Amino acid sequence: MCPSRVAEGEERGWIVPIGGAEDKEMRRRILKRFVQLCGGRDADIAIIPTASKLPDTGQRYEELFDRLEAGRARSIGFASREDGERDDYLRQLETATGIFFTGGNQLRISTIIGGTPAAKLIRERNARGVHVGGTSAGASILSDHMIAFGKEGSSPRAGSVRLAPGLGLTNRFIIDQHFRQRDRLGRLVAALAFNPFVVGIGLDEDTAAFIRPDNVLEVEGSGALTVVDAGDLQFSSMADVGQNQPVCLLGLKVHILVAGATFDLNTRCASPGTLVDDKN
CA distance 224 to 21: 13
Q: Determine how β-strand 44-48 pairs with β-strand 72-75.
A: parallel
Of 4, 75, 136, 160, the catalytic one is: 136
Nearer to a second copy, 167 or 270 (CB): 270
The active-site residue, picked from 110, 178, 218, 220, is 178
Site string for a second copy, 150-189 (x = CB under 8 A): ---xxxx----------------------xxx-x-xx--x
> What are the angstrom distances between the C-alpha of 63 and each of 57, 119, 215?
10, 25, 31
Q: Is 27 in the site for a second copy (CB under 8 A)?
A: no
Residue 131 annotated as catalytic: no
| Nearer CB in complex with a second copy: 133/221 | 221
Q: Which range, of 24-32, 133-141, 169-177, 250-258, touches a second copy by CB under 8 A? A: 250-258
Query: Which range of residues in 31-39, 45-53, 163-171, 267-275 is near a second copy by CB under 8 A?
Result: 267-275
Catalytic annotation present for 145: no
Choosing from 129, 237, 264, 268, the residue that interacts with a second copy (CB under 8 A) is 237
Q: Any catalytic annotation for residue 155? A: no
CA distances from 116 to 51, 111, 127 (A): 16, 10, 17
What CA–CA distance (Å, rounded) separates 225 from 176? Answer: 10
DSSP states of 211-230 as a string?
E-TTSEEEEEESS-EEEEE-
Least Å distance, CB 263 to a second copy, is 9
Residue 245 Cβ vs a second copy, minimum distance, rounded to whole Å: 6
- Residue type at position 29: R
CB atoms within 10 A of CB 81: 14
Using the contact rule CB under 8 A, the part of the chain among 7-15, 22-30, 33-41, 249-257 near a second copy is 249-257
3-state secondary structure of 194: helix
Which residues are known to be catalytic? 136, 178, 205
